[in-house]
Amino acid sequence: MSFFGLDCSRTKVTELERKLRANDREYNLSFKYATNAIKTSKYNFFTFLPLNLFEQFQRIANAYFLFLLLLQVIPQISSLSWFTTVVPLVLVLTVTAAKDATDDINRHRSDNQVNNRKVQVLIDGKLRSEKWMDVQVGDIIKLENNQFVTADLVLLSSSEPLNLVYIETAELDGETNLKVRQALTITGDLGDNIDNLAAFNGEVRCEPPNNRLDRFTGTLTFDGQKYSLDNEKILLRGCTLRNTDWCFGLVLFGGPETKLMQNCGKSIFKRTSIDRLMNVLVLCIFGFLACMCTVLAVGNAIWELNEGSQFTVFLPRQDDTGAAFSAFLTFWSYVIILNTVVPISLYVSVEIIRLGNSFYIDWDRKMYHSRSDTPAEARTTTLNEELGQIKYIFSDKTGTLTQNIMTFNKASINGKTFGDVCDYTGQRIEISENTDMVDFSFNPLADPRFMFHDHALVEAVKLENPEVHAFFRLLALCHTVMAEEKSEGKLLYQAQSPDEGALVTAARNFGFVFRSRTPDSVTIVEMGQQRSYELLALLDFNNVRKRMSVIVRNPEGKLSLYCKGADTIIYERLHQSCNKLMDVTTEHLNEFAGEGLRTLALAYKDLDEEYFSQWKQRHHEASTSLEDREDKLDQLYEEIEKDLLLLGATAIEDKLQDGVPQTIEQLSKADIKIWVLTGDKQETAENIGYSCNMLREDMNEVFVVSGNTPEDVRQELRNAQTTMKPGEDVVFLPERTLGKRVKVIRDEAVNGEYGLVINGHSLAYALESSMELDFLRTACMCKAVICCRVTPLQKAQVVELVKKYKQAVTLAIGDGANDVSMIKAAHIGVGISGQEGMQAVLSSDYSFAQFRFLQRLLLVHGRWSYLRMCKFLRYFFYKNFTFTLVHFWYAFFCGFSAQTVYDEWFITLYNLVYTALPVLGMSLFDQDVNDVWSFQHPQLYVPGQLNLYFSKTTFFKCVLHSCYSSLVLFFIPYAAMYDTVRDDGKDIADYQSFALLTQTCLLITVCIQLGLEMAYWTAVNTVFVLGSLAMYFAVTFLMYSNGMFLIFPSSFPFIGTARNTMNQPNVWLTVLLTSILCILPVVTHRFLLIQLCPTINDKVMFKVREAKATPPPPPRRTRIRRTSSRRSGYAFSHAQGYGDLVTSGRFLRRPGMSRVSGFAHTGRTTTGFSPMGRSAGYSPTGRPQNAKVQDVEVTSLQMYRKS
């Protein structure tokens, strides 16, 4: 239930081309396009009861119990009262219906909230406030700043220069940096003139509704001219209008046909693997029940033929029925008596257990995030045990693994590092919340959120160190950031990437404040003096160059080129005089990279005026060339970007959420594979992969699949698999050769560890039916998989692919609306309540505030829930099969007459009272080891992935165990009571004495068996077990008393049986012997199993006992460092094309305020403020951020200083 109605079902697209006319509803309605209303609810007032009951009776068990109820109302075959079945059945149906009704009411509320939002629509020449659901295709609507986009629109005009609008697309791709869209000039001239807009009658022909977020093709015909429409002119539903006063748009797609809704994914009913297994087992049990009833019916027919004629003297029949009809009635009578093999109490108990384990998650204080006041929440109660079987985790990156905050942490300038804090001996000390921060009060334009702890750098700025000044001057000039100054001194930066914003913010705080720009100038404030640099050229970034440069002329007329980019790229273009400085800077870069920081190198050169004039002329010719334009420009860039002088390097932390590397490490030890599916750029995702320890330098190889054609992608996958398994013929089978039955792709062993990174356009080919198996086989051979630039629907397709071909349980975790389809597709969906709203949370099964809580959800709550559920099912089937099979053996001694071996009241209370609480106590409180030991031994999680605790094999072992126990429980009491008398010789043993003895042996035996199953005894468990036994004896003596017989003689026929039987020594000896014979094989088997082939649980539990249940303190968490030379660049998270916008002026907002601010030069000052982090993060959303302090490792460096 998203804010935007993401719980919709995708409608099938039948149209081949969309045609519409602006301001002509009658014409557009003829095509019967979808309105803008969304509907995610399942029921209404009239359909709820029939539809819900129909869904519930699709469960085999519910239909079975309804069938039993019908049998029990037939007096000829029923020996039990009808209410014993109808009461629990109605209870289960009512509880489930109430839960479904509550969920659907919430969906109705969500739909109404979205559909009733207001927007201004141009109708009959006037702007009217209309509800979202009343908006039609072809309407012209007006949006204002910070409003959500109502439907998919083609932009007509806006309040900004050159008809630009700024939008935030976090709902679609998870990115919070702003995007730019621009209207056609012909429609931009309409402005906000209502008359002109009302007279606009342009016709649009475009692609039909689809889920491609990155592509749009269409044409607009107006005044006899045809204009091309592409993605840059489209506003999609789910976006938010930012920094734009108003804009007008023409509705192209509405409601379920919008691209957001087409990507929303289909809501599916999620069931656990144990639920699916239970359905299979219930069918097997039905077959087993039918076989038993058939055997007994045949036995009844034979008995009637041989012995029945003799009994008619004593028991004359009301009508002359033959043996065949008697057998027929006996069959159905035994169906009723033996139905306890699948009692309805099983399903009631399962729901109670799941509810209880859900409360444990809700109440867990260790999953509570105090900073945001967000507790963990189990939003569904039906999937808890599935949390203990996860094999694949699919995670979003932005906002899930990271905080989406970039912080300027360290710098290397002219061979000296800044950013560390040292004590009086010169040793680096760990930065904590009490470490003094740099005081930037000398700078009135400083960003108050920026934090830095090394005072040496600000001192170098104040002492006017030329290299330091040049360093920050480069950061203030070489970028594509836009500045907005709403009031004096209040600067707001709009950066295309958050790391670029962090660098410009750092320069701002250290005295080099980027103030404003025009297409041909950049204005900065240097140490209080405003200076305007002429921008002569901007050499833009692309994925090949991995760097950007600007050429500027300072106010004194000096020409300079400033360049920043990946260090490997910059080093190739440095002057020979920089070799010594380059070596030292390389050492610093290696240290920064080892801490997981994102680095880039900075360099500059002064240019000759005459040479630049010639170069500028050639640049103009190349930029206007119609052939090989890109190649010619690249050659010119290479020519001028050489013989650079190195200034230093920056180190930015793309802040991970707390505990992400440790969590991923723990989950990997639990043999859980983690795939990152992100809408971010490849380089950004790779950097995060290394930072959070998914990708490591010690991996044999990290494959990058980035082919632009199906053949290229197939070959890259083939090469990767050949590398991982050399010498083996790689056979890639197309899907059609697999036949109708789905093929399961088994895990393949490889030598070494590998990673896989695949781009969105390559993934589109890899997910095609002819190549999906190739991709899956290759990906599953890798230790880590990262998919970049993926659409929301592609995320869901990857999850579905793994679900289809791998016998594994999947979990998807994300925090934005772009993750909703993935969350819905996975077996388990987890939402993180982060910066991108609550859309993911509202569609999830579980939610919490931080990624690190996932390890507790899985390794503790999930594992315990799975363990408890499996123990419950094993024990429940054991006690009920044992209970029921005694009836089967007794049938051979009662003439197959469907007489029950137990008292009818014992049959009624066995599952309801006598054995209900003990098994619930075990299923709610049992644990093999506590949470600390669970974290110290994550391998304990593996048995759940392999279904070792409960499977078909385990079930059949339970049945065999029950057969043995039932034989002992029937024949030992039968032999002990046969032809015996009381010790005083007065009374001979009878049926009632035998029934009482058998049920007493049964109850004591199953209670002992329960005690053997439990690994963790609590006071509650003890009270439940002993209390149930006490309840049995109390109820038995009460019901077999004279008083109950006198009140209800027909209902309590066992008068005096308890007091006459329980005082006989041989009865108690029989109980003891029976219990020992039932339990002895179990104890022997477990002892031999633990001694000869102990499981991981046995080994850890032995350690716990050795430690006397006091585990050692957990190891202190240390920062995970990568001691590698791999370095990342700022340019890696940048996008091509922003330079063109900057220099063309199309990107520019209103001119910034031109003011000069003076600086008060003060000495070193400190503050007593205790920060929340090392430095304030740049957040593209403009929200204030705090970050937790990370540990800093001490490394000694040979510092190079310029002499």
Q: Which residues are catalytic?
A: 396
- Up-side HSE of residue 674: CA atoms within 13 Å toward CB? 25
Show Cβ contacts of residue 1086 under 8 Å, excluding neighbours closer than 6 positions.
Answer: 1012
**Angstrom distance (rounded) from CA 1156 to CA 1151:** 15
Q: Supply 472's token pair.
A: 């920050």
Which residue type sits at 724? M
Phi-psi region of 741 (alpha: psi -120 to 50; beta: other; left: phi over 0): beta
CA 426 to mean position of chain CA atoms? 45
Query: Which position has the token pair 């669970």?
Result: 934
Neighbours of 60 (CB within 10 A): 15
The answer to whether 973 and 889 are in contact (CB under 8 A) is no
Q: Supply 300's token pair.
A: 């009844």
DSSP string of 735-766? GGGG-SSPPP------SS-EEEEE-HHHHHHH
CA 723 to mean position of chain CA atoms? 31
Q: Supply 579's token pair.
A: 């070799």
Show Cβ contacts of residue 277 under 8 Å, excluding neighbours closer than 6 positions.
Answer: 950, 951, 952
Q: Distances in Å between the alpha carbon of 1159 and those of 173, 507, 509, 527?
A: 42, 15, 12, 6
Q: Supply 675's token pair.
A: 């795939």
Question: 271, 154, 28: which is closest to 803 by C-alpha?
Answer: 271
**Angstrom distance (rounded) from CA 98 to CA 80:** 30
Question: 100, 90, 122, 110: which is closest to 193 by C-alpha?
Answer: 122
**Angstrom distance (rounded) from CA 469 to CA 507:** 10
**Buried b vs exposed e over 880-906: b needs ≥16 C-beta within 10 Å?**
bbbbbbbbbbbbeeebbbbebbbbbbb
**Angstrom distance (rounded) from CA 560 to CA 607:** 6
Question: 418, 452, 457: which is closest to 435 by C-alpha?
Answer: 452
Q: Distances in Å between the alpha carbon of 35 and those of 23, 30, 252, 417?
A: 15, 13, 11, 60
Q: Which long-range contacts (CB under 8 A, 24 or more apart) does 520-524 make?
A: 520/1143, 522/477, 522/550, 522/552, 523/1152, 523/1154, 524/473, 524/476, 524/477
Phi-psi region of 685 (alpha: psi -120 to 50; beta: other; left: phi over 0): alpha
The answer to whether 517 and 523 are in contact (CB under 8 A) is yes
Show Cβ contacts of residue 98 under 8 Å, excluding neighbours closer than 6 positions.
Answer: none
Question: 926, 961, 998, 950: which is closest to 1080 by C-alpha?
Answer: 961
Q: Distances in Å between the alpha carbon of 1006 and those of 161, 876, 878, 1028?
A: 81, 10, 8, 11
The answer to whether 410 and 651 are in contact (CB under 8 A) is yes
Q: Supply 160's token pair.
A: 């900004």
Which residue type sits at 455? H
Q: What angle do CA 615, 619, 621 make, to 5 degrees?
A: 120
Q: Which helix (H) or strand (E) holds 601?
A: strand 598-606
CA-atom Rg of the chain in angstroms: 38
